[in-house]
């Protein structure tokens, strides 16, 4: 038998059996040579603007459970909303849902991931917020009573072990409660950290396609160049769409959008009044308004503005309001009816979108889009409060919490 991390325990059992004439009982799960650690460190958001890194015991693995050693996790806008305002009233809670790491122990029933791909100790894993019971459900329901909170990793509080957020060194996945997880061993660490936010845009583009307007040669506006808008640009580019104008007030972000596929940029800070701004967008398309727009900011004003960038009969995907940021003013006659705008909203993703996202990231890499450069900064777990303040001040693009340093293109703090 070849000796490796997965079978070493079996070899020891056989040696002991040879010495004693009887083998000790096999553990009910595959585990690393050194055994499963006794405790894990978890950053719990315990009050507004403050995480405490706490130590909790790692329970015995059940037959459907998975223990993952965390490598890195992106800070999402939702984590930042929670950190600053707790809009969903979740405190105390273990956050971090854009995470990935290495499987270190597996319950004996777990042989495959949620897409049927074989899973073993040593594989790289991500979780998904969507439950296994219906692949087309687009989102967990925050008010769904019958869902154990531990099924949604890094967003909802749990009432038992607290090892359910990726801002940690180990995460404990309870497979029996319908959680979904994927073996992504064929992807590098930074790509794996980007899977979850990219899935949001894969879904938004799927929603956009239902209008029938988004085509190969469409003129497309992407408003907002945070990680969400930038990933939107990259996905459009991998689809072959080349006529993309980005709108933002941050020149650095606009510049980065060009690296991901934007053809032209409009800095809204340079234009007074919506008519001048709309004309700038029109100029960027050589005198045409956009066929389609993606609204990727959480700003109600930006929602009001975006209709002015779109041609009659064009389309709009609004995805910028994961949380309630207030009302936006539009003129239903001029903005919607008279222009016959095809409007779709988009929220999170389906399980199918998650799998499509893996292909997007590989294609982006193949055509040289520097998608992983979106992760500009990495902080260790014990600097998580600093990392959130840094991200809130828009000092970087995607900020990550990591237990291992990222490559040289990232500022490791
Ligand atoms: N639909 C979903 O499921 C989903 C999922 C995740 C995030 N979101 C939402 O997407 C939004 C963007 O996320 P992010 O992480 O990229 O945020 P971010 O704050 O990093 O980026 C927003 C960008 O919008 C720009 N902006 C602000 N006002 C603007 C205006 N009037 N015109 C043009 N640009 C303007 C900002 O300069 C910034 O670069 C957030 O509001 C978030 O809630 C939605």
The pLDDT assigned to 18 comes to 40
- Mean pLDDT score across all residues of the chain: 90
State the pTM of this model: 0.91
Q: What pLDDT is attached to residue 5?
A: 44
Tens-digit pLDDT profile for residues 151-167? 789 988 887 899 999 99
Whether 370 shows a pLDDT value over 80: the answer reads yes
Q: What DSSP assignment string belongs to 178-227?
A: T-EEEE-TTS-HHHHHHHHHHHHHHHHHHHHHTTT---TT-EEEEE--SH
pLDDT for the residue 391: 96
Task: Give counts: helices (H), strands (E), the chain.
Answer: 9, 18
Q: Give the CATH superfamily of 36-186+374-412.
A: Medium-chain alcohol dehydrogenases, catalytic domain (3.90.180.10)
* Average pLDDT of the segment spanning 63-73: 97
Confidence of residue 131 (pLDDT cuts 50, 70, 90): confident
Query: What pairing do the DSSP bridges indicate for beta strands 411-412 and 375-379?
Result: parallel
Element (H, E) at 363: helix 351-366
Work out the pLDDT band at 140, boundaries 50, 70, 90. low
From atom 16 of ligand 1, which residue's Cα is the shortest distance away? 226
pLDDT exceeds 80 at position 98: yes
**Ligand 1 and 396: CB distance under 6 A:** no
Q: Residue 152 has what pLDDT?
A: 80
Model pLDDT, residue 104:
96
d(C-alpha 388, C-alpha 196), whole Å: 18
Between the CA of 320 and the centroid of ligand 1 the distance, in Å, is 6
- Tell whether the model's pLDDT for residue 393 goes beyond 70: yes
**Which strand (E) or helix (H) includes residue 66?**
strand 65-74
**Which residue from 320, 375, 398 has its CB within 8 A of the most atoms of ligand 1, so it is best to mutate?**
320
The stretch 163-173 carries a mean pLDDT of 96
Ligand 1 center–CA 295 separation, angstroms? 8
pLDDT at 234: 98
> In this model, does residue 289 exceed pLDDT 50?
yes
Q: What's the rounded mean pLDDT across residues 391-396?
A: 93
Distance 396 CA to ligand 1 centre (A): 14
Cα-Cα-Cα-Cα dihedral sign, residues 307, 282, 201, 338: positive
Q: Is the model's pLDDT at 139 over the cut of 60? A: no
Burial 80-101 (b: 16+ CB within 10 A, else e): bbbbeeeeeebbebbbbbbbbb
Residue ranges covered by each domain of the chain? 36-186+374-412, 196-345
**What does 111-171 look like in DSSP terms, one character per residue?**
-B-TTS-B--TT-EEEEESS-TT-TT--S--TT-TTS-GGGSTTTS--SS-----SSBSEE
- Tell me the average pLDDT across 243-254: 97
Predicted local distance difference test score (pLDDT) of residue 135: 58
Confidence class for position 351, pLDDT limits 50, 70, 90 = confident
State the angle between helix axes of 227-238 and 189-209 in degrees (0 to 180), rounded to the nearest 10: 70
Residue whose Cα lies nearest atom 17 of ligand 1: it is 226
pLDDT at residue 200 greater than cutoff 50: yes
Give the number of other CB atoms < 10 A from CB of residue 142.
12
Stated as kind and residue range, the H or E segment containing 364 is helix 351-366
Pick the CATH number of 196-345 from 3.40.50.720, 3.40.50.300, 3.40.1260.10, 3.40.640.10: 3.40.50.720
Range with top average pLDDT, 112-116, 142-146, 281-285 = 281-285
Q: For the residues 181-201, what does the mean pLDDT come to?
A: 97
Q: Residue 253, exposed/middle/buried by CB under 10 A (0-12, 13-18, 19+)?
A: buried
* Candidate of 298, 302, 395 to mutate for ligand 1, largest count of ligand atoms within 8 Å of Cβ: 298
| 150 CA to centre of ligand 1 in angstroms | 28
Give the ligand 1 atom nearest the CA of 249.
37
Could you tell me if the CB of 250 is within 6 A of ligand 1? yes
The helix (run of H) or strand (run of E) holding residue 52 is strand 50-57
Q: Quick check: 146 pLDDT over 60?
A: no
Q: Which residues contact 389 (CB under 8 A, 6 or more apart)?
A: none
Q: Which pLDDT value is given to residue 20?
A: 44
Q: Which residue has the higher pLDDT, 31 or 322?
A: 322
Is 50 exceeded by the pLDDT of residue 117?
Answer: yes
* Residue range 335-351: mean pLDDT, rounded: 95
Query: Which protein residue's CA is at the shortest distance from atom 38 of ligand 1?
Result: 226
Mutate to test the pocket of ligand 1, among 202, 224, 307 (most ligand atoms within 8 A of CB): 224
């Amino acid at each position: 038998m070849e000796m490796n991390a997965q079978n070493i325990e079996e070899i020891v059992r056989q040696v002991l059996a040879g010495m004693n004439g009887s083998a000790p009982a096999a553990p009910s799960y595959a585990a690393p040579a050194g055994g499963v650690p006794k405790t894990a460190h978890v950053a719990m958001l315990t009050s507004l603007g403050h995480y405490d890194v706490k130590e909790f015991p790692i329970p015995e693995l059940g037959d459907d459970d998975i223990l993952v050693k965390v490598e890195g996790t992106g800070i999402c806008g939702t984590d930042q909303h929670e950190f600053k305002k707790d809009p969903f009233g979740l405190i105390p809670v273990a956050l971090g849902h854009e995470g990935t790491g290495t499987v270190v122990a597996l319950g004996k029933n777990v042989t495959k991931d949620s897409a049927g791909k074989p899973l073993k100790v040593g594989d790289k894993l991500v979780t998904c917020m969507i439950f296994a019971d219906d692949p087309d459900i687009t989102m967990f329901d925050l008010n769904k009573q019958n869902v154990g909170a531990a099924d949604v990793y890094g967003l909802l509080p749990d009432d038992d072990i607290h090892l359910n957020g990726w801002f940690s060194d180990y995460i404990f996945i309870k497979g029996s409660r319908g959680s979904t997880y994927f073996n992504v061993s064929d992807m590098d660490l930074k790509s794996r950290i980007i899977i979850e936010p990219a899935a949001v845009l894969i879904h938004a583009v799927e929603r956009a396609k239902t209008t029938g307007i988004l085509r190969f040669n469409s003129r497309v506006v992407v408003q907002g160049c945070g990680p969400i808008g930038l990933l939107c640009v990259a996905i459009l580019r991998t689809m072959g769409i080349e006529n993309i104008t980005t709108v933002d007030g941050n020149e650095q972000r606009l510049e980065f959008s060009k690296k991901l596929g934007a053809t032209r940029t409009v800095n809204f800070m340079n234009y007074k009044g919506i008519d001048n701004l709309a004309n700038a967008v029109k100029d960027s398309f050589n005198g045409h308004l956009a066929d389609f727009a993606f609204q990727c900011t959480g700003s109600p004003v930006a929602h009001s503005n975006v209709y002015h960038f779109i041609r009659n009969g064009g389309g709009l995907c609004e995805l910028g309001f994961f949380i309630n940021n207030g009302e936006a003013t539009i003129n239903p006659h001029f903005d919607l009816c008279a222009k016959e705008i095809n409007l779709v909203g988009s929220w999170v993703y389906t399980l199918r979108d998650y799998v499509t996202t893996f292909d997007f990231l590989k294609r982006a890499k193949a055509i040289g889009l520097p998608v992983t450069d979106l992760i500009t900064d990495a902080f260790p777990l014990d600097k998580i409060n600093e990392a959130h303040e840094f991200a809130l001040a828009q000092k970087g693009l995607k900020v990550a919490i990591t237990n291992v340093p990222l490559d040289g293109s990232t500022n490791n703090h």
